[in-house]
Chains A and B, each alone.
Chain A
């Protein structure tokens, strides 16, 4: 939609003779410039990022972050050619915004960035009302500074909060596995960096809720211990009792004090918890008796866990209390009919659990509505698996081979929009962090 809108604008401005193809064009255009777009934006307000002098990297990042939030109809203005003259005047103080123009273009909001004496001036314009809705001066690091990207992402998230009431998800990261090594990547696909080393094998990364730690399975000789790595200090701690056997699928509790994980031994695979604040106190939650139980995920209130169990044959999604009691089916399945279900993750708002389930031998993403026990299929093309929730509870990252190799993709559950996170090699086992905290930007 964005591309066609910019084409429409270009057509309207540069080709006055053409009749504008729009929802509601009834007359040809004989003369002058006529901008006659009637567009029903649905539930998404139109947003334009106002071009300006300098701050190109920041502005480009903000534009992309606002686009990726999927909350706005992003309007892409063509470059300086043919623009109304008051939108871009290098070296001069920005004039009051031409609200009527932007109103006719369909924008509800305008975002302006300009270099100021105290930092970067950020203005959010309410185009409909014709006023500045919010203004702040934000200190941004130099674009060459390693902290620049995350600082701009936090700014984008604040802008989303000013407009919609909910912060964006730009200042968050995904942990992922490429070639049995854990990496992390910004939510927009930038700044890929390794977390584990080249001489070790690691799988199953999981973020602590405060974003300061990553837990993963350190894999060696068919066994695996669970390591909690502090990203700031690079210190590592091995979860007690995980030095033996194969320990996998770690997941932090919402308060960060407990780590749930699975252990595979000759008895089978069962779920345990450990206190990771004190690195002690390991407890067993499931007793498999030749059924496997793994892949625990906490509900946001910390009182229940969803997990995978093979107790009826194929793996399916179950739930239990945080102490292992009250085990029950969570995602309904028909014995002998429903395919294997795996990799559950409870949504940040507690209302849904996402997982993948085999349909015709290919895994597809499914959403379970916890209250109503209803299951909805989200994908159908290719193999789609290992979903993880963004902190806004409406975006999911997952692994898909739809492009020919296993890659990370992001889907917006509400609009259906899908984008790809480009990584080298085969990416898998993604885990999305919460919003990464930083110093407060504005008051």
Chain B
């Protein structure tokens, strides 16, 4: 828009210059002053060209605006896609009481994580194993460790480099559900997945 108004101003100034025979505004840029007998024709041609140029610039501006809008739309689509990627990476998996075996209905979730890890080579995860509050407090730290290690073994068996996965354990120290019933216990017997690096520009697998 600004370009257009400036061009209009310049165009108007040129008209004034052309009309006044170049007497005022000695700081006008080229075109230089020409002999008066050919000025009117040349000025008219220049004016016409300038207006064509201005219109071209206006069109270019509109095109640029349209492109920018399209890109913004594409980015917001990607943002929705990014949310889905983050959800797939950080979704929790759960375990049976006193067990560290990966449940078969968690295979799909782990396969999705493996696929995202394969597509995003800079992505690194921390896998935190947890236990419900029953059982020995200290044993639950070892049990949580086993649960984290089990998820890591599954992912490395799908080709993920072991160096990109770190295993820690919180035992029963970090429940997501503070209740004391079976529902709470189920929620707490879990692995958490946290991105530790490479999560900025995730690409869909």
A→B interface (CB under 8 Å): 180, 201, 203-204, 219, 221-224, 246, 248-249, 262, 264-269, 292, 294-295, 308, 314-315, 340, 342-343, 356, 358, 361, 363, 385-386, 428-429
A222 and B128 in contact, given A264-B169, A266-B149, A386-B136 (Cβ under 8 angstroms): yes
Note all chain B residues with C-beta closer than 8 A to A266: 148-149, 152, 167
Whether B135 and A269, one on each chain, are in contact in the complex, defined by CB atoms closer than 8 angstroms, is: no
Q: Indicate whether B50 reaches chain A with its CB closer than 8 angstroms.
A: no
Q: What would 24 A/B residue contacts be, using CB atoms closer than 8 Å? A: A204-B138, A221-B168, A222-B126, A222-B128, A222-B170, A246-B145, A246-B168, A248-B138, A248-B141, A264-B142, A264-B169, A266-B149, A267-B149, A268-B145, A292-B143, A292-B145, A295-B139, A314-B98, A340-B98, A340-B139, A342-B139, A343-B139, A386-B136, A386-B137
Whether B169 and A203, one on each chain, are in contact in the complex, defined by CB atoms closer than 8 angstroms, is: no
Whether B141 and A264, one on each chain, are in contact in the complex, defined by CB atoms closer than 8 angstroms, is: yes
Note all chain A residues with C-beta closer than 8 A to B148: 266
Note all chain A residues with C-beta closer than 8 A to B138: 203-204, 248-249, 294-295, 342-343, 429
A192 to chain B, nearest CB (A): 20
- Counting contact residues on chain B (CB < 8 A from A), the size range is 20 to 34
- B117-149 vs A, CB cutoff 8 Å, 1 = contact: the mask equals 000000000101000001111110111011011
Q: Indicate whether B106 reaches chain A with its CB closer than 8 angstroms.
A: no
Q: Indicate whether B71 reaches chain A with its CB closer than 8 angstroms.
A: no
Q: Indicate whether B87 reaches chain A with its CB closer than 8 angstroms.
A: no
Note all chain B residues with C-beta closer than 8 A to A269: 142, 145-146
B→A interface (CB under 8 Å): 98, 126, 128, 134-139, 141-143, 145-146, 148-149, 152, 167-170, 173
Whether A292 and B146, one on each chain, are in contact in the complex, defined by CB atoms closer than 8 angstroms, is: yes
A222 and B142 in contact, given A386-B136, A428-B137 (Cβ under 8 angstroms): no
Note all chain B residues with C-beta closer than 8 A to A249: 138
- Expressed in whole angstroms, the Cα–Cα distance for A385 and B142 within the complex equals 17
Note all chain A residues with C-beta closer than 8 A to B126: 222
Output the residue of B136, B152, B169, B170 with the most chain A CB within 10 A: B136
Whether B135 and A265, one on each chain, are in contact in the complex, defined by CB atoms closer than 8 angstroms, is: no
Whether B135 and A340, one on each chain, are in contact in the complex, defined by CB atoms closer than 8 angstroms, is: yes
Note all chain A residues with C-beta closer than 8 A to B152: 266
- Expressed in whole angstroms, the Cα–Cα distance for A46 and B148 within the complex equals 58
A308 and B145 in contact, given A222-B128, A314-B98 (Cβ under 8 angstroms): no
Nearest A residue to B149, CB-CB: A266
